[in-house]
Chain A
Amino acid sequence: MPEHAADPHAEPHDHVVPVGTYILVFLALMVGTAVTVAASYLDLGIWNTPVAMLIAVTKAGLVVSFFMHLKYSPRLYWIWLGAAVFFLAHLLLGTGADFLGHLFLNLGSPGT
C-alpha cells in the first residue's frame, strides 16, 4: 500500500479502536435486534420487510465499519466489498425486475 512505501522497515502501526467504541457498537446492534423483532409485530403494510432490511443493512454497516475495521482500512478493501455488494444488488434487482415484469405484463406467474 502506498502509505507504507516511505519507510520500508516500518512496523505496522494500526489504528487501535478504543474499547468504548466496540461497546457502543455492540449496544447499537442489540437495540437494532430488539427494534427488528418489535417492528415485525406491527402491521406496516408493505413496509415490514423494507424496514427489517433497512435495520439489517445498518447493523451490517456497523459491524463492517468498526468490528471489521473497514472505516480505518485502505480504500482497496472498500472496492472489493463494494464490488461484491454491487453484483449482489445486480443479481437481486435483475431477477426481481424479471419477476415483476412477468406480473405486470401478464405473462403469467414465473412460478407456474
Chain B
Amino acid sequence: MSSPSETPPVVAHHPALRHHFDTMATQKDSSLLGMWVFIAQEIMFFGGMLAAYAIYRNVYYDAFAAGSHHLDVKLGTINTAVLICSSLTMALGVHAAALGKRKATVLFLLLTIALGSVFLGIKVVEYADKFHHDLVPGPRYSAESLHGAHGEALSADTARHSELFFALYFGLTGLHALHMIIGVPIIAIMAWKAGHGRFGPAYYTPVEVTGLYWHFVDIVWIFLFPLLYLIPHHA
C-alpha cells in the first residue's frame, strides 16, 4: 500500500504525447482546433478576392461572360470530379489511419497525391491555352479570341474589361493551385510517416489535420468552378 505522501506512480503514456498536454485527447482536440482556426483565416483570405470578383462581375457582366466562355467547361468539370475523387481518397486515408491499417493509409494517401497531380496537370494545360491566346493580363493581353453571346466581336470597352476577368481567374485559380502545390508534399510526408509506422489508432492526428486542409482546398474549388467557368450569357 502506498501512502498519499509518496510520489504518484509514473503512468505510461503514448510517445507522441507532448509534455504540456494531459492526455492524447486534449492534444488531438488542440491540433484540430488549430487547423479549424487556420481554415477560418483561409476563408477570409480567399474572401477578399471573392468580394472583388463579385463586384466586378456585376459591373462588367458582359466582359466576364465573354471571358468565362473561353474557359474549357469540359476540362473544368473533369478537374472538379478529379478533386472530389481526391477528397474521397483523403477521407479513406484518414479512415484507414484511424483503424491502424498501415498499407491502406499509404495507398490512399498516394492516390490522393496522384489525383492532385492530375488536377494540377490539367491546370497547366488550361494555363498554356491562355498564354497561347494572349489572355494573360499584362502588356500582351488581347481579347481578340473572345466573342459575345451571339458570336459577335466585343466592343472596345468590353474587350478592355475582360482583362479584369482573367486577372481574377489567374488570381483565384492560382491561389487555389498554390494551396494544392503546398498540400501535395505535406501528404507525401504523411504517407512516408504512415509507411514507417508512425501512426496508429491512438495517434494519427497529423493525417487528420492534413485531411482537413485538403478538403478545404476542395471546397474552394467547388465554389470557383461555377463562378469562373459557368457564367451564363443570358441574364
Taking Cβ atoms with an 8 Å cutoff, the residues of A that contact B are: 1, 4, 8-12, 14, 16-17, 19, 22-23, 25-26, 29-30, 33, 36-37, 40, 43-46, 48-49, 52-53, 55-56, 59-60, 63-64, 66-69, 73-74, 76-77, 80-81, 83-85, 87-88, 91-92, 95-96, 99, 109-111
Stretch touching chain A among B130-138, B176-184, B187-195, B220-228? B220-228
* Bound form: Cα–Cα A64–B230 in Å: 24
Q: Which residues of B contact A52 (CB under 8 A)?
A: 226-227, 230
Whether the pair A26, B32 counts as a contact (CB closer than 8 A) is no
Taking Cβ atoms with an 8 Å cutoff, the residues of B that contact A are: 11, 13-14, 22-26, 28-29, 32-33, 36-37, 39-41, 43-44, 47-48, 50-51, 54-56, 58-60, 73, 77, 80-81, 84-85, 87-88, 90-92, 95, 98-99, 202, 208, 211-212, 215-216, 218-219, 222-223, 225-227, 230, 232, 234-235
Secondary structure type dominating chain B contacts:
helix
Known: A33-B77, A68-B215, A73-B32. 10 other contacts (CB 8 A): A4-B29, A8-B23, A19-B92, A33-B225, A40-B232, A48-B234, A59-B219, A66-B91, A81-B40, A91-B51
Whether the pair A11, B14 counts as a contact (CB closer than 8 A) is yes
Whether the pair A45, B235 counts as a contact (CB closer than 8 A) is yes
Q: Which residues of A contact B26 (CB under 8 A)?
A: 1, 4
Whether the pair B91, A99 counts as a contact (CB closer than 8 A) is no
Determine the residue in chain B with the shortest Cβ distance to A28: B84
Assuming A1-B26, A48-B235, A84-B44, is B219 touching A16 (CB within 8 A)? Answer: no
